[in-house]
Amino acid sequence: MRMIDLDEVLETNKMIERENLDVRTVTMGISLMECCDPDLDALNGKIYDKIVSTARDLIPVAEDISLEYGIPIVNKRVSVTPISIVGSSACKTPEDFVTIAHTLERAAKKIGINFIGGYSALVAKGMTRSDRMLIDSIPEALGSTERVCGSVEVATTKIGINMDAVRLMGDVIKRTAERTADRDSIGCTKLVIFCNPPDDNPFMAGAFHGVTETDAVINVGVSGPGVVKTAVSQVKDGDFEVLCETIKKTSFKVTRVGQLVAKEASKRLGVPFGIVDLSLAPTPAVGDSIADILHEMGLEMVGAPGTTAALAILNDQVKKGGIMASSYVGGLSGAFIPVSEDSSMAEAVTAGALTLEKLEAMTCVCSVGLDMIAIPGNTTPETLAGIIADEMAIGMVNQKTTAVRVIPVIGKDVGDRAEFGGLLGASPIMPVSRFGCGGFVNRGGRIPAPVHSFKN
């Protein structure tokens, strides 16, 4: 692949100035494996020192690159090794794990990043004592911190779905919502439940530094829904071939910007370059919306018949354009469909065009899953577990990453609105089926992997 030169960056000036093109995040993954210690105080000290010493230059370097090339870099973040592993020797109670969350918070504040991910456990096949304690600590850990994000892997295509963990996460989501009830249950916005999570995802709240990764790595997440929307609006009369080529070529240009930033950050920080995640990630800002792209493709409103097909086209062409622009494409890569973080998506919910069931269908072809969805605060833990189970099944059977980030907003119901602020946005409360699934999710055990997972 030829080297990136300044001409390619200059070509994107219009995209940056008029179409909200940005690098959504530069995320440094940091391994904490060398920090493991049976003494809790020593462990916390090592974790803090490792994060601060490794990432101390992350923000100044990112700001220098942004200034030099005129490319907005919106977020600077850190992901770490799943804490259930790092804390397994030292932590004897859930409260011990909470001290690590507070250490992560202190380190994040010290280096000035907006989020730190990795308060996580990987339990697709079973839960260790350490995993159970970390999961039990999540409501307090996320409720008593601002920048710490957590995730739990409960399913993979090769293993199946750990329904004991799924049922437990229904309780954990509800407890997290209650712990932050005074803030529209914002704690749940920092918690993701995964099937097939990638080890190199730079986007929060699901980022963690996988155990297969090196000591430290730079992963970059690009964005650019506004750029793609503008390009699609210029081919309204084109057939599907023209539409696909337009999205693909635009995604190539967007990804090249991310590749440049990733390479520069890697060189200046002395940390290996990992991947570019070429996901189209929306924000609440007007004109920075996945839904608006789908409207330009010909839908009256997201949720109308044809929505899943349009999203499938978008997701696939984004990936095809991106993989030609970077040697190392990873993370989630494609199109995100968060409700609260996409103002036009939220409008579709308010209009009655977009339902939870339609969003579930769309997750079969998008890059992540049910994301940033506010639901009634009286939703039961069993129903939450059923929502998770459905989404995990989609990921498992389709051999793709799926995730659930739902927020049962305590004290609010359908017709109300949740306000999370900043990039997290706002959302109307979406209705959930009133029919129960307790008899199903309470069975316990594990749903086996699908037959097509046996490929050895």
Question: Looking at domain 22-195, does it have CATH number 3.20.70.20?
Answer: yes
- The whole-number pLDDT of residue 16 equals 58
288 three-state secondary structure: coil
Strands (E), 288-368: none
CB 39 within 8 A of CB 92: no
> Mean pLDDT across the stretch 378-390?
96
pLDDT of residue 257: 81
pLDDT digits (tens, 9 = 90+) for 387-443: 999 999 999 999 999 999 999 999 999 989 998 888 888 889 999 999 999 999 999
At residue 367 the predicted structure's pLDDT band, cuts being 50, 70 and 90, is: confident
Question: pLDDT tens for residues 199-210?
Answer: 888 888 889 999
pLDDT level of residue 2 (50, 70, 90 thresholds): very low
* Rounded-to-integer distance, Cα 214 and Cα 191, Å: 25
Q: What is the pLDDT of residue 202?
A: 87
* Residue 203: φ, ψ to 5°: -90, 140
Residues of the chain with pLDDT > 90: what percent? 62
Specify the pLDDT at position 251.
84
Q: What is the rounded average pLDDT of the residues 77-92?
A: 95
- Residue that is written with structure tokens 């993370």 in the block: 331
371 has which bridge partners?
A: 405
Pick the closest to residue 154 from 330, 376, 332, 387 (CA basis).
387
Tell which wins on pLDDT, 278 or 192.
Answer: 192
Q: How confident is the model at residue 384 (pLDDT cuts 50, 70, 90)?
A: very high
User: Is-contact 327 1, C-beta < 8 A?
Assistant: yes
Q: Strand 402-409 vs strand 191-195: parallel, antiparallel, or unpaired?
A: antiparallel
The pLDDT tens digits for 86-118 are 999 999 999 999 999 999 999 999 999 999 999
Model pLDDT, residue 1 = 42
Instruction: Give dist(CA 441, CA 420) in Å, integer.
Output: 30
Q: Mean pLDDT throughout 206-230?
A: 87
- CA distance linking residue 148 with residue 304, whole number of Å: 37
Element (H, E) at 99: helix 94-111
Instruction: Give CA–CA dist 445/125, Å, rounded.
Output: 10
Residue 143 has pLDDT above 90, yes or no: yes
How do residues 224-281 score in pLDDT, each as one tens digit? Answer: 788 888 889 888 888 999 999 999 888 888 888 888 888 889 999 999 998 888 888 7
Lowest-confidence region among 1-15, 113-127, 259-273, 324-338: 1-15
CA dihedral 432, 138, 390, 279 (to 10 degrees): 100
